[in-house]
Chains A and B, each alone.
Chain A
């Protein structure tokens, strides 16, 4: 039996709004959905960033004078939840995945267009629900980890809304993951082999496997937690005979892979961007594929390294330390592959390339502290201090968010048909890079000297370093302005990009900018060598593209 890609497409589809209104509609077009994810995610990024700003303002002085402690707890919970579940996960997966994967597999849409639209439209309501909980009865106060017994003893209303919101977002994530797996494995054109796909497809395949395997466990755990809060059962409540450690195990079984859900797609995006702007093939394609899959497998068996101070038995500490240290191997392979891709290339230092290079630098720093944190004696010393905060932000901001900006600079011409201003982009990069490192590098020092995280007040000896960190945060906030100005200018008055401004070989550039509804007006091009830059025969291909 066959089904059409978009069932009942002929008549109802024509009733769909055109122009910018289509971005507010239940569109089934993967490109529209991708941009919906991107813009929606960026709006939440602005909200989450403002909350981060509020945290840094509070931490300028040792006392909690900017906001009450309860509000501080709510702000940091909302900041973490919004940034992870509403910005990075939807954007690196949903936005770029939806936009690019159908191109890369030679399809005209995702495998399940309706499921795709449903997955996106779960996000805005749950995000709004999460934020409005602050104004109703106070938002959740137990951090994005929602560890019991804290999450059971803090006010219930905000915590329950938090749980519902995360459940919806988890559902959205699972639907998206199923869609990506089906699209990559099943919708791929038959003459395209898996090992000929652009690296981002592999990254999304690995990520989606992690999503499908680990997110449901978090969902189940949060359902049990909500029983504890609403029905007063005792799963995770020690006073009723429950076990908080079980919550931590189940939570981190999702939330450690969640780090890879945030960073593996970023790896894939960087692997697309670097070859194009250095005019060289991606170095070590096969090792890259195996290291992605290695990270997927290892990523599922390292969760307890978050719990070294939770009374884990020695054998468990040993196992999870070794497994975690092993992750440095595939990650290191990827790092060296990127550097080797750049090596001797004809590098154009545009904004996309700068942000990708910034990613490589930041990610190595975050990776090194990650290996350090996997060692039990060190981890016990810095557990729950600002060292962990610094490490985590080096991975998710210095890693994923830098890649998101890099990808926006890289694909904006395709999204809109307009070029971005490269000088403004470089300026944006410099401020972001300095601001980011100024904000988070000093926090390593704070953590090593024992400043605990998630507390509104601190010992006065840490004040100077905290103020330096807050200056960095201010720079990061300001860096958004040239970016937004650049976007606005380009959409209104930007110079025309043409179909393929970067002379790229990957399939999304072999169509008009922005692409037509069904991606290609004629036959879809078959790209067997997506990274064939600088080779003799591929020069002809490039000529043909021009």
Chain B
């Protein structure tokens, strides 16, 4: 989507000295931010793995995590990544009805993930302050859940903005869409790592 400035356009803007045209690298900035965000998660994962390695908690305090619900969550998020990508395809073709439909599905999947996560929280046999494992579990999944919440909100905003004729996001102005999509894939990827480290290892 990034392209060099067309010749005429840049010479035109020289009349007005207060603006300078250049490529759009907001996505580049977002990638840098997501790397930073990923490092936050990396810190959490490192803390969790170290706790697990050097701070063994008593045998009576070890909880077996139930797998079905988080597996369902993983599937929900993976499918939502796919549906978001699908919506992007339709945005490209300027078929906003289809695009909106797939965005809505994505948003619903995100909310479904949150509800399912919440359900898991309520059924777990431990609370935030019970022991080190419990605290780390809630911190990790909670921090990720915060990301999903923000992502779902942004998907809703994008969904509203892609409506025709008055929406601001279309195949001419795709940055908001692409930014949220990139963010959503990132949150998705983090979940997969989290699922492996927290539930499977």
Contacts and interface: CB of A to CB of B under 8 A. Distances in A.
B21 A178 contact: no
A108 B24 contact: no
Given A2-B3, A220-B40, A246-B50, A233 B29 contact: no
A1 B24 contact: yes
A243 interface: yes
B20 to A, nearest CB: 4
8 contacts: A1-B1, A2-B3, A177-B32, A178-B32, A179-B29, A186-B28, A240-B129, A249-B50
Interface residues of B, number: 51
Nearest to B44: A220
A224 interface: yes
Given A217-B42, A241-B131, A178 B29 contact: yes
Given A182-B32, A220-B40, A241-B55, A231 B129 contact: yes
A220 B25 CA distance: 27
Contacts of A219: 40
B23 A2 contact: yes
Interface SS of chain B: helix, strand, loop or mixed?
helix
Contacts of B41: 220
A292 B129 CA distance: 44
B166 interface: no
A4 B28 CA distance: 16
Contacts of B35: 212-213
Given A1-B173, A215-B36, A13 B18 contact: yes
B25 A216 contact: no
B143 to A, nearest CB: 8
Nearest to B41: A220
Nearest to A208: B32
Given A4-B21, A10-B16, A231-B129, A178 B47 contact: no
B129 A233 contact: yes
Contacts of A458: none
Interface of A: 1-6, 9-10, 13, 107-109, 111-112, 115, 174, 177-179, 181-182, 185-187, 212-217, 219-221, 223-224, 227, 231-235, 240-243, 245-246, 249-250, 253, 517-518
Interface stretch (B67-75, B132-140, B187-195): B132-140
B23 A182 contact: no
B135 A518 contact: no
A433 B48 CA distance: 47
A234 B129 contact: yes
Given A182-B25, A235-B51, 12 more contacts: A1-B172, A9-B19, A109-B20, A174-B36, A181-B32, A213-B39, A221-B43, A224-B44, A233-B129, A234-B131, A246-B47, A250-B43
Interface string B112-142: 0000000000000000110110011001000
Nearest to A235: B135
Nearest to B173: A1
A234 B133 CA distance: 9
Interface string B3-46: 10110010001001111111111101100110111111111101
Contacts of B54: 243, 245
A214 B38 CA distance: 11
Contacts of B62: none
Nearest to A237: B132
A250 B46 contact: yes
Nearest to A221: B43
B168 interface: no
Given A2-B23, A232-B129, A227 B39 contact: no
A445 B37 CA distance: 43
B139 A214 contact: no
Given A1-B175, A182-B29, A246 B23 contact: no
B174 interface: yes
Nearest to A14: B18
